Structure 1
Amino acid sequence: MEKLSNLAKIVTDRRLKEAPLFDFSARAAKHKDYQLIQLLEADPDSTQLQLTKGLYGKASPASLITFRKLKSRVQQKLLNHLYFLDQADPRHLVSRRYELQCLSLYHQVTVLYGEGEYALAEQLLRKCLRQALDGEFTQYAVLAARLLCTLYADLRQPARYKAMSTQLLKYQQLLLLEDEAGQIYGSSKLALAHTVRTRRTLLNEIPAYQEKLQRLHDKAKSFTTFNYLYLIRLTQQELTGNYAEIIRLTSATARQAAQGKLNRKRFDKRFNNYMNAYAHLRSKQAEKGLALAEEYFKDFHPSSGNWFFFLENYVLLALHAGQYGKALQLLELALKNPYFRKQRVAARQRWDLFRAYIHFVQPEVSPLRLRHFNQFVQTLPDYSRDKQGYNVAILILQFLHYLRQQDVDGLLSRLEGLRKYERRHLRDAATLRSQLFFRLLVLTVKEHFNPQACEKKAQPLLKRLREAPQPGEAFAEIEIIPYEALWQLALDILAANAAREQAREVAARQRVG
């Protein structure tokens, strides 16, 4: 009981006078700290002025000063609660809970060591080291081993010091290999976040990156080096558009994990499933991908950004499978998620674009009003960044919108925009699908919106479009709805417009007669 007795004395002697955590019981409801949290939960977009009035009745200079002190105190208490979050939910990153256990133990040990409680510090340090090694968290193994060396030196225990020093050297050498692998992968990841031109340059560099990572993994044989090597392999296939190989790689890795060949505390099956579903989307296997997405989606927690990323692919799979009602349900699920506002602006704009496409193909079931849709289409955000990702999708939607509205002036302006965009950004062979679809849209104007003539003249282009491979991620353009389906929609619009025009002419002749 000596260790427990010493720990009790440390805590009782050194405890803070004021509790550093919130009391969430009913008796705390009257405290201003708790009232501020309730106000923020009720309206996350509240301003400082509104919160001050809500708490103190007015926003005088004195109450504003008091509120700033309250805000600082509440923020610190909330930060303290981060030590006690529930990490057991399997829908979160599996490695996080084990990594935080190592961090928690190391934090406790450093406090105990500083208080001179060496016996309990050694016991917890050894536990921290065991957990770090079991989870292959080499950086925490180094920290724990280094502090154990310091502890044994203080306690004048040369045999234990020598044994731990030998282990520490081994962990440090392993960490150097893992850090080098991390720097190599980090360089490739940064290139992915930049322009299309940078991504294409990365294609030439990836084989060398992969070779270096393979050499490092052969030396280290750790989960960390395996993971970097695995990620760079997926990146290479994604950039080149070899989605069949991504399906093979992710499926094989999932089997390895199921057989216990990968560290269960580190392998993120959610990412693996995400890449598998994404590859089915890009390889024109929407029906199969949609079934997989429905199965995989339950593994993502609604509070995580990964939930939204996966749901984007889930929506796209539904759209590519022609299940527009399903896509609408998923879209509404995203918009109702209380964490929706946590996403970056670009991510929220993508959801706006998905909503616009769903409205366009099924306006009768869309909650978006026609007037709001018209305004939205005309003010769609500019996804620049070297014209990557969704610019083509925006231009196409705008063109189809003006086509349905029979707005000739709008169509002509969009037509010029399409031509300029093609000349500047769609010259590469890998952008063939977008090039062909732009020419199909141009055809509608050339043929004076005649549906029969457009359908006939489009056959050679449509045949080439169906045969054209999906471009790799290096070329960035995303088809929210497959171009083949959009072309059929364009023909339906032309036919409907022609029918309305014919009906108006008949009605006019009848009035004259």
Structure 2
Amino acid sequence: MNEIANLARIVTSRSLASLPILDLRSRQTNKENQFVATLAESPEVTQLQVVKTLYGKSTPANVRALQKLQSRVRSKLLNQLYFLDHSDPRHLVSRRYELECLDLLHKVSILYSEREYKLTERLLQRCLRLAEQGEFTQYVVQGARMLRNLHAEQRQPVLYKKAAKVLHRAQQLLTLEDEAEQLYRATQLALGGSVASRRAILAMLPDRIEQLEALHRKARSFTTYNAVYRARIAYEELQGNFQEIIRVTGAASRRLRDGKLNARRFDIRFNHFMNIYAYLRSRQPMQGLRLAEEYNRDFHPSSNNWFYFQEHHVLLALHAEQYERAQQLMGVITKNPAYLIQREAALQRWDLYKGYIDFVMPPQRVTTARQRQIAQWVLQLPEYSRDKRGHNVAILVLQLLHFLRERNLEEVLLRLERLRKYQQRHLYEPTTLRSRLFLRLLQVIVDKNFDAAQAAERGKVLLQQLQETPPPGEAFAEVEIIPYEHLWELVLSLLREGAPVAKESELAS
């Protein structure tokens, strides 16, 4: 009872007068809870709207009151972070175990400063076990250092030497892990940069992977394994070697299943994501779609990872010509409460995907303001935009398809000219061959005066070349929302319905 009595003494004698957290389950309404509820329901709400909601009208005094309330609530919400539920397996699996170590280290620090040594030692031993099981080497170092110091202070030489030995071994391991992480993070930074920086890192990656593998052979830890695993996937992705990514991700799944990977650390969601991405890029959409349906359960709908995963889920459906399935997925995605709070660039990608889906599966009627906005947005996009790198051909092609369906000769010729200019300026590398071949196919329809039969015949050789050309690596790719081969069939089917014609005003002039 002594331990718990000491703990009770510490807590009762040092507790704050009022708890600095929110009682979100309280049945009694107060301004703090009303403010939080308002923000949760309407994240985009303005300060003026909040003032009117909470205080009835906007006055300088009420604005000042809101500012004080906001400061108080922010502090309490930060304190509330200690009490989040991390048990859902659809989030990053390592988070709950890492936070458990941090929670124990926080408690131990307080108990140590209060000189409650027995409970401190017990919690430190528990923290060390958890840190070692999760291979959180930095927390093994912290815990072992605190335990060593505790034994020194209590004049326990045998226990001191034991803790010092654990600390020394963990510090040596942490040095190797830090070096591996530094190499991988520098690689990751370059991968997120320009095409030039990605080409530069592509040339360096074999040596860097060899360095990482050497570090892993010395450390044999999850952290060094993870650096090798992710760097290897990045290398194969840049080269366009998607079959190898399928092999690497499949091997990782088997190792996890066989207990050879730390289940408390390995992010199966990333493995799933890269696996279906590789099936998409290696032109095996049916297999990828089947796996995406299976993997979907491992992603929490509230996370950004869910949206990234669903992008490839939709693209797999489009590549598999499962257009109705893609339409169903878009319905689920747009109904997600977090959909509209994504970054603007992400929302525009979704709009582009929806533009293609609506083209192949036209809705019965355009009813919502958002649908009308998307239709206008797609048609007014610029010829070339750096913030839409990888999607510029897809944007111009979608515009072209729209005007082919409208049989608007002037706009069709304008888009074909824009595509020609875009090709001259940006599609000159060998890795852009698929895009160049498709744009040459589109030029055939002009050469054959928009005659579907003649264009199909004249384009046979180009189509064969396109079918035999694999997709390039990620560093150089234009995204094919619908494969170029399928788009060519769409173009021909539109021409069979009728060639584009000049407007009467043009004919009169």
Same fold (TM over 0.5): yes
Is 1:16 paired with 2:16? yes
Aligned equivalents of 2:457 and 2:256: distance in 1? 52
Aligned equivalents of 2:340 and 2:189: distance in 1? 25
Once the 2 structures are TM-superposed, how far is the Cα of residue 383 of structure 1 from its aligned partner? 7.4
Which residue of the partner structure matches residue 505 of structure 2? none
Structural mapping, 1:236-275, within 5 Å: 236-275=235-274
Aligned equivalents of 1:64 and 1:163: distance in 2? 60
Using the TM superposition, name which of 134-143 and 19-28 deviates more.
19-28
Supply the AA of the counterpart residue of 2:409: V
Once the 2 structures are TM-superposed, how far is the Cα of residue 367 of structure 1 from its aligned partner? 5.4
Aligned equivalents of 2:418 and 2:192: distance in 1? 26
Unaligned runs of 5+ in 1: 502-513
Aligned equivalents of 1:87 and 1:51: distance in 2? 31
Give the secondary-structure state (helix, strand or coil) at the position aligned to 1:479: coil
Which residue of the partner structure matches residue 470 of structure 1? 471
Once the 2 structures are TM-superposed, how far is the Cα of residue 381 of structure 1 from its aligned partner? 6.9
Once the 2 structures are TM-superposed, how far is the Cα of residue 209 of structure 1 from its aligned partner? 0.8
Supply the AA of the counterpart residue of 2:422: Y
TM-score by length of 1: 0.94
Checking the alignment, whether the CA contact within 8 Å between 2:383 and 2:396 is kept in structure 1 is: no
Which residue of the partner structure matches residue 68 of structure 1? 67
Supply the AA of the counterpart residue of 1:104: D
Using the TM superposition, name which of 368-377 and 68-77 deviates more.
368-377
Which residue of the partner structure matches residue 39 of structure 1? 38
Give the secondary-structure state (helix, strand or coil) at the position aligned to 2:321: coil
Aligned equivalents of 2:318 and 2:54: distance in 1? 47
Using the TM superposition, name which of 299-308 and 11-20 deviates more.
11-20
Relative to structure 1, is the Cα distance of residues 382 and 40 closer, same or farther in structure 2, using a 3 angstrom cutoff? farther
Aligned equivalents of 1:125 and 1:40: distance in 2? 40
Relative to structure 1, is the Cα distance of residues 77 and 489 closer, same or farther in structure 2, using a 3 angstrom cutoff? same
Using the TM superposition, name which of 304-313 and 345-354 deviates more.
345-354
Using the TM superposition, name which of 53-62 and 400-409 deviates more.
400-409
Supply the AA of the counterpart residue of 2:5: S
Once the 2 structures are TM-superposed, how far is the Cα of residue 94 of structure 1 from its aligned partner? 1.0
Relative to structure 1, is the Cα distance of residues 61 and 485 closer, same or farther in structure 2, using a 3 angstrom cutoff? same
Which residue of the partner structure matches residue 333 of structure 1? 332
Which residue of the partner structure matches residue 409 of structure 1? 410
Relative to structure 1, is the Cα distance of residues 382 and 261 closer, same or farther in structure 2, using a 3 angstrom cutoff? farther
Aligned equivalents of 2:367 and 2:275: distance in 1? 32
Once the 2 structures are TM-superposed, how far is the Cα of residue 372 of structure 1 from its aligned partner? 4.2
Aligned equivalents of 1:205 and 1:368: distance in 2? 52
Give the secondary-structure state (helix, strand or coil) at the position aligned to 2:163: helix
Once the 2 structures are TM-superposed, how far is the Cα of residue 117 of structure 1 from its aligned partner? 1.5
Checking the alignment, whether the CA contact within 8 Å between 1:393 and 1:478 is kept in structure 2 is: yes
Aligned equivalents of 2:115 and 2:382: distance in 1? 60
Which residue of the partner structure matches residue 306 of structure 1? 305
Checking the alignment, whether the CA contact within 8 Å between 2:236 and 2:245 is kept in structure 1 is: yes
Could you list the per-position Cα deviations for residues 37-91 of structure 1 after superposition, in whole angstroms to 9, with x for gaps in the alignment? 1212232211011101110111111111111111111122121121111111111
Count of aligned pairs: 501
Structural mapping, 1:493-504, within 5 Å: 493-498=494-499
Is 1:483 paired with 2:484? yes
Aligned equivalents of 2:107 and 2:38: distance in 1? 34
Once the 2 structures are TM-superposed, how far is the Cα of residue 328 of structure 1 from its aligned partner? 1.1
Supply the AA of the counterpart residue of 2:421: K
Aligned equivalents of 2:469 and 2:386: distance in 1? 25
TM-score by length of 2: 0.94
Is 1:226 paired with 2:225? yes
Aligned equivalents of 1:254 and 1:371: distance in 2? 44
Which residue of the partner structure matches residue 456 of structure 1? 457
Which residue of the partner structure matches residue 202 of structure 1? 201
Relative to structure 1, is the Cα distance of residues 21 and 493 closer, same or farther in structure 2, using a 3 angstrom cutoff? same
Once the 2 structures are TM-superposed, how far is the Cα of residue 26 of structure 1 from its aligned partner? 4.3
Once the 2 structures are TM-superposed, how far is the Cα of residue 259 of structure 1 from its aligned partner? 0.6
Relative to structure 1, is the Cα distance of residues 80 and 214 closer, same or farther in structure 2, using a 3 angstrom cutoff? same
Could you list the per-position Cα deviations for residues 274-296 of structure 1 after superposition, in whole angstroms to 9, with x for gaps in the alignment? 11111111111111111110000
Which residue of the partner structure matches residue 396 of structure 1? 397
Could you list the per-position Cα deviations for residues 239-271 of structure 1 after superposition, in whole angstroms to 9, with x for gaps in the alignment? 111111111111111111111011111111111
Using the TM superposition, name which of 273-282 and 16-25 deviates more.
16-25
Aligned equivalents of 1:366 and 1:390: distance in 2? 27
Checking the alignment, whether the CA contact within 8 Å between 1:388 and 1:475 is kept in structure 2 is: no
Which residue of the partner structure matches residue 138 of structure 1? 137
Could you list the per-position Cα deviations for residues 428-466 of structure 1 after superposition, in whole angstroms to 9, with x for gaps in the alignment? 222111010111112222222121221111111111111
Give the secondary-structure state (helix, strand or coil) at the position aligned to 2:27: helix
Give the secondary-structure state (helix, strand or coil) at the position aligned to 1:19: coil
Which residue of the partner structure matches residue 508 of structure 1? none
Supply the AA of the counterpart residue of 1:411: V
Supply the AA of the counterpart residue of 2:119: L
Checking the alignment, whether the CA contact within 8 Å between 2:333 and 2:339 is kept in structure 1 is: yes
Aligned equivalents of 2:26 and 2:375: distance in 1? 50
Checking the alignment, whether the CA contact within 8 Å between 2:355 and 2:375 is kept in structure 1 is: no
Could you list the per-position Cα deviations for residues 215-256 of structure 1 after superposition, in whole angstroms to 9, with x for gaps in the alignment? 100100001100110111111111111111111111111111
Give the secondary-structure state (helix, strand or coil) at the position aligned to 2:89: coil
Checking the alignment, whether the CA contact within 8 Å between 1:125 and 1:148 is kept in structure 2 is: yes
Give the secondary-structure state (helix, strand or coil) at the position aligned to 1:205: helix
Matched-pair identity in %? 53
Supply the AA of the counterpart residue of 2:402: H
Could you list the per-position Cα deviations for residues 338-373 of structure 1 after superposition, in whole angstroms to 9, with x for gaps in the alignment? 122342222221111111111111214575778545
